[in-house]
Chain A
Amino acid sequence: MSIEQREARQPWILLTPALTAVLLLLIVPLMFIVVYSFWLKSAAGADTPGFFLDNWQETLTDPFYRDILLNTLKIAAITTIVCGLLGYPAAYFIARSKGNKAVLLVLLMLPFWISYIIRTMSWINILGVSGALNAAMLWLGVIDEPIQMLYNETTVILGLTHFLLPFMVLNIFVSLDGIDTNLEDAASSLGATRWQGFLQVTLPLSLPGLAAGGLLCFVLAAGTYITPVILGGPRDAMFANLVYEAIIRQLDWPLGSALSLLLLAVLGVLVLIYNRYLGMAQLAKGLG
């Protein structure tokens, strides 16, 4: 074998373990559940292989599934908007502050290291019947009896916002930090007010970061399983809860496959649209 041939083979040897893992543990399994979604669940024993449209018909026409899918998308959308509204000014402040930028950034990264389930359940300490807020209101005499503020759609959105806000702030910060501050100065020297300068120069330039943060928030919120179980009531199930129900409780794996693929398709379309207009590079910036 010549040296050139060996040179050409080296990168593939290096890539083989990782590529094999991704193909074997993600790509092939995804193709497998496409096939599986056309099988039928048997009352006893192994599922029946074949080409049945029953699961897809149920997934796509049952109003129960449709309502929960729409509700999931609604919750994800509200969460994303709230994250954007809370996150943008904060990211702007971090990007433009001089003294304590490093401290603010380290603090912003901290939640990524703190357990998701701990952060989610921490709201029970605040809003629960014997939580901080009730204790404070009882002490102040605002209420006579503790009120239940937990286990509804609002608390699900609250929990998701708390979990996803750092992703949003970080992504907006990355794009704001890359904008030359001279541009704003130039705008104001040409007679624009500070607000006009922000609206016409800074905001448009930071939109890619806002979009990247928004996509991450939306996709992560729409796929969430834990938050509605811990902070939601019996009626606040989201789509991932349906998948868990089908796969783990009812052991209806063909139906569970179809439901998973529907979720993947809906969120996949969003990712593709995003990729078409903005490209994946922006996302990698925020993650790296």
Chain B
Amino acid sequence: MGWRLIRIYTILVYLFMFLPIAVVVLLSFNANQFGSFPMTGLSTRWFETLWNNDAIMRAFRTSIVLGLMTAAISTVLGVLASLALVRYRIPGRNLITTLLIAPILVPEVVLAVALLLFLNFLNFGKSFTLLLAGHVIFTLPFVILVVQARLVSIKRDVEEAALSLGASPMQTFFAITLPLLMPAVAAGGLFAFTISFDDITGTLFWKPGGIETVPTQIFSMLRNSISPEINALGTVMIVLTVGLPLIGAAIARTLATRSGA
């Protein structure tokens, strides 16, 4: 009896989480000229309007370039730092970990203000570089958490075997550690990309006039009430951000089975 109640409760909680998202997808195919209820039929016209909207397409390109650059930089910095933290005994390890995780402990608005004012003081005003620096700093902790968790599970024995057979530390890293770490590198990179792609608070503080990312573009469109185009854009983003990680997970699994991990 109690268990059945909990089951019903859980179903309701899941409905609460997913129903609004389902309505976004449903309405994006709405034929009604105002894009609202009642639905008069199905159509893909809002996706066509979306495709022909230059501002949104430009925002898409900006977000993708920014996300890819953020992911690349964060992943490199994160993998190097994780190696140091997991593979070496270093003094002050806890302090260093706390420092590296700090960007998620500081509220994003505060981080945004501090970075904007400081870089502006150094004569780097609002620019794409500032945007990139900001995105790198708040995605870095996530990459480190993901990569560290994986690195702990890779046994040192394999690396030591390579070293004792005469491989240099560099060779060992590229031939042994990196391939074993690949799923985590991919996951960390993807995580960084998605967080960057989705960010709005920091981006609003850092973006120069004239540059919009997808979230800030949606935000400025929302000011004049919700249009069916936004629902279509939402559907595209859901497909991209849910579809991409699923493909990524599939790739990671293939890589993992191939490397025998």
Contact = CB atoms under 8 A, between A and B. Distances in A.
A22 B140 contact: yes
A213 to B, nearest CB: 14
B20 interface: yes
- Which DSSP category, helix, strand, loop or mixed, fits chain B's interface? helix
A244 B216 CA distance: 15
Interface string A141-155: 000000000000000
Interface in A167-220: 169, 194-195, 219
B107 interface: yes
A30 B102 CA distance: 12
B113 A256 contact: yes
B134 A110 contact: no
Interface in B181-211: 194, 197-198, 200-201, 204-205
Interface in B204-261: 204-205, 214-215, 218-219, 222, 226, 230-231, 234, 237-238, 241-242, 245
Contacts of A25: 115, 133-134, 136-137
B175 interface: no
Interface string A92-117: 11100000000010010011011111
B142 A287 contact: yes
Contacts of B145: 284, 287-288
Interface of B: 2, 6-7, 9-10, 13-14, 16-21, 23-24, 27, 34, 36-38, 76-78, 80-81, 83-85, 87-88, 90, 96, 98-111, 113-119, 121, 133-134, 136-137, 140, 142, 144-146, 148-149, 169, 194, 197-198, 200-201, 204-205, 214-215, 218-219, 222, 226, 230-231, 234, 237-238, 241-242, 245
19 contacts: A10-B88, A10-B169, A11-B83, A17-B80, A26-B102, A89-B9, A89-B10, A89-B13, A114-B21, A114-B241, A115-B198, A115-B215, A116-B200, A119-B20, A130-B37, A162-B17, A162-B20, A166-B17, A256-B117
